[in-house]
Amino acid sequence: MPFQTPLILLTGPLGSGKTTLLQHMVQSSALRLALLINEFGEFGIDGKLVKGKNLQIIELEGGCVCCSLIGEFEAALEEIIETAAPEAIVVEATGVAEPDALVFDVSDLIPQVRMDGVITIMDADAMVAFPDLGHTIQIQVKEADLLLLNKSDLVSPNQQQSLQTKLRTLNSNAPIIPTTYCQVDPELLFGLVHHQRVQPQEHSHQLEYQSFSYRPIAPLQRSCFERLVKKLGPEVYRAKGFVPFPDGNYLFNYVNGRWTLESLPEEEAGLLVFIGQDIKSKEAQIMESLRACEISQVAPRPFNHTAS
């Protein structure tokens, strides 16, 4: 049998820690990796956050690799194998992706690739806030060969225990590892064996999730931006991107009311993506508030005394 490149699929709800795990894998693995990143929302941000040597990154935007982009996904895999000859391919699927269709198509349609394992990253904090797991999240859990119960630092040991029990009822086989910032022994991430557990079914996406993006045309006043973030309502579940402040660019990460701003060592064009349910109803208001935080680049016009 010809050599098959192992493929690892990272899934999990929006903001659960997929990019964090990708960064950890890249930093801790000696393998020559190729990354295929598929984000929800129009513009790629995650691809700019993962850096490493010997790394090939392809981003697929504007749809989901589990359905509308499946053709592009296959073409990208074939191209990446031909041009970069990676020792392993890691795919970060959008938070709204249902992995059953993808797993099925990969193993059947691309003979050069072997499905190694599905790693599902769950957000312990979000599981406490939203105990009813939706259809897509349930499939992500059921299809997992390894479950990371991430953000363990944000829940109590008792809560963590009951979350593990809950995950176990959906998936009785996959090991469950509690993690903080996805810090897990990299040995456990490679060489998994995938077991198809969910029969692929026709699915429609969680249409209730919508996104919009904002490109600043001037640096933002930080205090104004922070006031705005504190006032964001439940319509915004996830936001991320690069914000220019007068003292430099920052990475903004927002998940279900918790947020961070991290100074960026490199210049990145300002861009923010907002994702949530029924978020379109708030788009105009949020955009207007963001624009109001921009420090005007235009010098005030001098008062003209000369009469014509």
Ligand X SMILES: Nc1nc2c(ncn2[C@@H]2O[C@H](COP(=O)(O)OP(=O)(O)OP(=O)(O)O)[C@@H](O)[C@H]2O)c(=O)[nH]1
- Measured distance CA(250)–CA(231) in Å, rounded: 20
State both tokens at 226.
Answer: 């922070």
Query: Which one of the spans 7-15, 60-68, 194-202, 224-232 is the region binding ligand X (CB under 6 A)?
Result: 7-15
When binding is defined by CB under 6 A, the residue of 6, 44, 95, 216 that contacts ligand X is 95
Restricting to residues 34-63, which ones interact with ligand X according to CB under 6 A? Answer: 39, 46
- Report the phi/psi class of residue 88: left, alpha or beta, with left for phi > 0 and alpha for psi in -120 to 50: beta
Nearer to ligand X, 18 or 114 (CB): 18
Looking at residues 155 to 194 of the shown chain, list those that interact with ligand X (rule: CB under 6 A).
180-182
Cα angle, residue 120 at apex, residues 60 and 232 outer, rounded to 5°:
70
How do 5-11 and 113-123 pair as beta strands? parallel
Interface residue with ligand X among 11, 16, 171, 211 (CB under 6 A) is 16
Taking the least distance from each CB to ligand X, the nearer of 197 and 240 is: 240
Please report whether residue 147 would count as binding ligand X according to CB under 6 A.
no
User: Alpha helix locations (H) across 6-69?
Assistant: 18-28, 46-49
Tokens of residue 71, six digits: 């053709």
Question: Cβ 262 to ligand X, closest distance in Å?
Answer: 8
DSSP assignment string, 78-122: HHHHHHH--SEEEEE--TT--HHHHHHHHHHH-TTEEEEEEEEEE
Q: Which of residues 256-285 bind ligand X (CB under 6 A)?
A: 260
In terms of Cα–Cα distance, which of 229, 209, 223 is closest to 295? 223
**Residue 154 is a binding residue for ligand X (CB under 6 A):** yes
The gap between the terminal CA atoms of the chain, to the nearest Å, is: 88
Give φ, ψ of 239 to 5 degrees: -145, 145
**According to the binding rule CB under 6 A, does residue 136 interact with ligand X?**
no
Q: Of 120, 140, 249, 253, which one interacts with ligand X (CB under 6 A)?
A: 253
Total binding residues for ligand X by CB under 6 A?
23
What is the nearest approach in angstroms of ligand X to the Cβ of residue 18? 3
Residues that bind ligand X (CB under 6 A): 12, 14-20, 39, 46, 95, 150-151, 153-154, 180-182, 238, 240, 253, 255, 260
